[in-house]
Chain A
């Protein structure tokens, strides 16, 4: 008689589809590796660009990350998701590039996070309803890029992984080599600083009230 599994048990028993591809890559299958690249290259590019803020560097990082992943694939034991493992390589590559750009000055996830600026909300104005509709797509993208660029690398990386890429707090901690409380604290500060800065563009003009 067949055993009925609960949805949770089914999920626990199911192998992540990436693991099958990774096993093929370990056996030397390049088309399986290309499939993994197609799946994750855009996200890796986005993360690298968020950290380095330089398009050329981000393209190089995509190349270096995937090549390193191929070289070291036998070290991947499946203790985390393949994507989380890949992100960790990409973050290290990105920090190395930042270091080079800043003429060997040490750059780490801890850089510039001592500042308390923006950690305490100061702007309590309501925002306009659907504020992004007051800007065209290009203007809005420019505002969002400029705003996130103003955050320290350690903050914008946590925000990009957790809120844009959708990694869980635990996965973000794993990918960045940080503790869960450190991720939570940086995420709060990143969100509040971005909110404060975006408020300049999105707030209801003085003298008016949000409908």
Chain B
């Protein structure tokens, strides 16, 4: 296996979706290739650092305003749809 073939299988490798035989082949390549080893290690850290840090908080006060605005519109729509008796 060369580095291009290794990279082509990287997404499945991370998602643990590779068959055992292919996984062994990928791990053997990585053991002998420092570039691919670093690429896997630092890509894994990239995913983790984004997963562990919330970048975009929605403040509670804005949440409440947004909910109210949506619910008001929904209530109007519901009122329109319900025929008066």
Q: Taking beta carbons and an 8 Å cutoff, which residues of A are in contact with B?
A: 28, 30, 33-34, 37-38, 41-42, 45-46, 49-50, 55, 58-59, 62-63, 66-67, 70-71, 120-121, 124-127, 131-132, 137, 140-141, 144-145, 148, 159, 163-164, 169, 184, 187-188, 191-192, 194-195, 198-199, 202
Q: Which single residue of chain B is at the shortest CB-CB distance from A45?
A: B58
| B19 close to A (CB within 8 Å) | no
**CA gap between A184 and B58 in the complex, in Å:** 29
A126 touches B38 (CB 8 A): yes
**CA gap between A75 and B15 in the complex, in Å:** 32
B42 touches A199 (CB 8 A): yes
Those of B41-85 within 8 Å (CB) of chain A: 41-43, 45-47, 49-51, 53, 55-56, 58, 62-63, 66-67, 69-71, 73-75, 77-78, 82
Distance of A158 from chain B, by nearest CB (Å): 11
**CA gap between A3 and B59 in the complex, in Å:** 48
| B28 close to A (CB within 8 Å) | no
Q: Which single residue of chain B is at the shortest CB-CB distance from A47?
A: B56
Instruction: Tell me whether chain B's interface is mostly helix, strand or loop, or mixed.
Output: helix
Closest 10 A/B residue pairs (Cβ): A195-B46, A45-B58, A49-B56, A66-B70, A70-B74, A184-B11, A124-B35, A121-B39, A195-B43, A188-B11
Interface size class of B (residues with CB under 8 A): 35 or more
Query: Number of residue pairs across A and B with beta carbons under 8 Å?
Result: 110
B53 touches A144 (CB 8 A): yes
Contacts of A187 on B, CB cut-off 8 Å? 11
Instruction: Tell me whether chain A's interface is mostly helix, strand or loop, or mixed.
Output: helix
- 13 sample A-B contacts, Cβ–Cβ < 8 Å, listed by A number: A41-B67, A42-B58, A58-B56, A63-B69, A66-B70, A126-B41, A137-B53, A148-B50, A163-B51, A169-B11, A188-B10, A192-B43, A202-B42
Distance of A43 from chain B, by nearest CB (Å): 10
A127 touches B66 (CB 8 A): no
Distance of B9 from chain A, by nearest CB (Å): 10
A28 touches B78 (CB 8 A): yes
**CA gap between A163 and B43 in the complex, in Å:** 12
Q: Which single residue of chain A is at the shortest CB-CB distance from B81?
A: A28
Chain B CB count within 10 A is highest, among A58, A126, A132, A191, for A191
Contacts of B78 on A, CB cut-off 8 Å? 28, 30
| B7 close to A (CB within 8 Å) | yes
Q: Which single residue of chain B is at the shortest CB-CB distance from A194?
A: B46
B56 touches A50 (CB 8 A): yes
**CA gap between A59 and B15 in the complex, in Å:** 32
